[in-house]
Structure 1
């Protein structure tokens, strides 16, 4: 399948640079797959669009302030370090810019020496392994020194880092936010539960590979990145009960969807599990775990628009995206949302 089938024209001014003041005031495009209808709402209207018995599945991962700016101990040269994955307590896989002069033994100092990283191994494409030394608790040091690793298409500074976290973020470990969940407020979630909608939580730590463009001509040749997921027995029981009672499972975001589809692929039913998934979902594959999807508008030629197309059909999704451009919806992480049922 040619990657060009997932391309579309997107005016740069439609890429949202800052979040709206009120999370739930974003616009919501509602797409009905069977009727092939497209309607326009605001996200707060989701209270009347979901039904009693529906179950929202939320990814409770929390984004690390994973971008650090420091200096080489020997020369004072400026270095940017981006945390990718924690190997052991103090050892991390990172990306470094500029990487060329950071070799094993190089030490990088952050703040006033509160944190020091020593390069222990070189990897490809600017990747390095580093060992951190510090006093106290690493996550507290990181909170004081790190910055949010905003996607490359966001050029504005984020004044409040909590706006790149969902209100239910709990499990530290993501390099990026599960952005479909950014539209929910605590009040909105409480109102949904009061109306008979249940909430289930899982964890998938989003990697920076989520922003990686597909660089091959044929979709099937793309090498999908792996991400860590975890589903509790409580959540598995909850989802199986929803299915048994005929309710709809509404996945919030492509990250929740990839997790649920991994579980169903591997076990045939929802059950407690954890591990790494590199599941790559694209047409003509069919999604088996979910009945609805809440998602933001994604990059052209991205694996995310392919996943959405597997759920709703490529032509219908591209038609919805054309309507979004025509109606000046806001795109990407801080943009508007779709509800596909």
Structure 2
């Protein structure tokens, strides 16, 4: 069956609200870990994850950093308007560029209370900080079909957009937590290795990793590799279409350097494990970019973008190492230290992992593309695993427990 014909109703389960972790555990690596391999299930905790990974494996982490994407404005009438920063306007080539802009940006946003924001009205927000007073002004630049382009200007102009958000905005917790942001969320809704500003949601599989866990991994010569995929609000988007053919995956920015590609190539015939669905989508997308280049070496950066159905419609009999090498060679020939592009890849039943042998991931929402991804890796066993987790007091979703699933 082509994934276009999949019905999302086959990928649901009953998730009681009290099984959703509303807060993180006091210690990151004390979260429970369910390990599934060769039909067998084992329970442990993340502190011991190295025991369940082979020596010399490569773990791929997403080092994106969550930005304080929620900006609250108050009108003179007292009415509140929320500006949720989604992604850069099309005038910017990538998220990194826009995060470094000073004084003014155009950004695609969702508006809470848009009916209260009349045409031509400017909203102002003043924040007292250690750097002095920050003045932020917002105006609607354009209305799109599913969001707004907002012009944001601020003083002092020397502040970058990322710095301004850090001072003026709030961490965008997932809506299913049904609570306000607390002080500890600023630290706990980031991985300890978060580096590149740009996400509106955390790559949650990585939230469980601590320095002690990394030390135990090093003792088994298990190496980390880092990619960047900036998680968009589409990660929370439920599938409302009857079949996947009618659902459009959200496109997300990825950023990968030559050194990471060399790490992937070196381990392509060994064991590579993705930490999180975002890391998995990134490294599998890299494979398909390489396949495209093997078929047409002269493709441009725009041509190698991976679209939703590409993996199911591009013919390939290419070894992972060859595909990744083709992508690296293309980067070198184009004097490109970093590959910054987009992927819209949908990993669903019918997809066969090319690069990764397994995934470390949290437990996902019913009726979600993330659950489709899990089912692509382990088939219908996902139902038994999720039922086991429900029956054995595992905590679900972003701040919850997780699993290590082998292909």
Structure 1 residue corresponding to 2:205, chosen from 147, 170, 180 = 180
Question: How far is 1:101 from its partner?
Answer: 3.4
Q: Tell me, what secondary structure is at the counterpart of 1:100? A: helix
Question: How far is 1:75 from its partner?
Answer: 4.9
Distance 1:124 1:151 in 2: 23
Comparing 330-339 with 269-278, greater Cα deviation is found at 269-278
Aligned to 1:117: 138
Q: CA RMSD, aligned part only? A: 1.5
Aligned to 2:273: 250
Structure 2 residue corresponding to 1:21, chosen from 26, 30, 37 = 26
Question: Is it true that 1:210 corresponds to 2:235 in the alignment?
Answer: yes
Structure 2 matches for 1:19-168, cutoff 5 A? 19-32=24-37, 35-72=38-75, 75-87=77-89, 88=92, 89=101, 90-112=105-127, 114-125=135-146, 127-134=147-154, 135=156, 136-137=158-159, 138-156=161-179, 157-160=181-184, 161-168=186-193
Distance 1:42 1:190 in 2: 16
TM-score (norm 1): 0.94
Distance 1:207 1:103 in 2: 27
Distance 2:118 2:344 in 1: 30
8 A contact 1:57–1:201 mirrored in 2: yes
Aligned to 1:282: 348
Q: CA, structure 1 residues 66+316, in 2 after alignment: closer, same or farther (shift >3 Å)?
A: same
Comparing 204-213 with 80-89, greater Cα deviation is found at 80-89
8 A contact 1:205–1:227 mirrored in 2: yes
Q: Tell me, what secondary structure is at the counterpart of 1:153? A: helix
Question: How far is 1:3 from its partner?
Answer: 1.2
- Gap runs ≥5 in structure 2: 1-5, 93-100, 128-133, 292-322, 329-338
Distance 1:188 1:5 in 2: 36
Aligned to 1:201: 226
Aligned to 2:254: 229
Aligned to 1:12: 17
Structure 2 residue corresponding to 1:306, chosen from 348, 361, 372 = 372
Comparing 60-69 with 97-106, greater Cα deviation is found at 97-106
Question: How far is 1:76 from its partner?
Answer: 5.0
Question: How far is 1:333 from its partner?
Answer: 0.2
Aligned to 1:332: 397
Q: Tell me, what secondary structure is at the counterpart of 1:237? A: helix
Question: How far is 1:104 from its partner?
Answer: 4.6
8 A contact 2:47–2:212 mirrored in 1: no
Question: Is it true that 1:266 corresponds to 2:289 in the alignment?
Answer: yes
Question: Is it true that 1:170 corresponds to 2:195 in the alignment?
Answer: yes
Q: CA, structure 1 residues 199+75, in 2 after alignment: closer, same or farther (shift >3 Å)?
A: same
Distance 1:102 1:264 in 2: 45
8 A contact 2:107–2:149 mirrored in 1: yes
Distance 2:351 2:163 in 1: 43
Comparing 297-306 with 137-146, greater Cα deviation is found at 137-146
Distance 1:168 1:180 in 2: 12
Distance 2:403 2:176 in 1: 20
Aligned to 1:322: 387
Question: How far is 1:51 from its partner?
Answer: 1.7
Question: How far is 1:142 from its partner?
Answer: 1.6
Q: Deviations over 1:19-75 (max 9, x none)?
A: 11100000000011xx21111111111121112110000000000011111124x65
Distance 1:47 1:289 in 2: 20
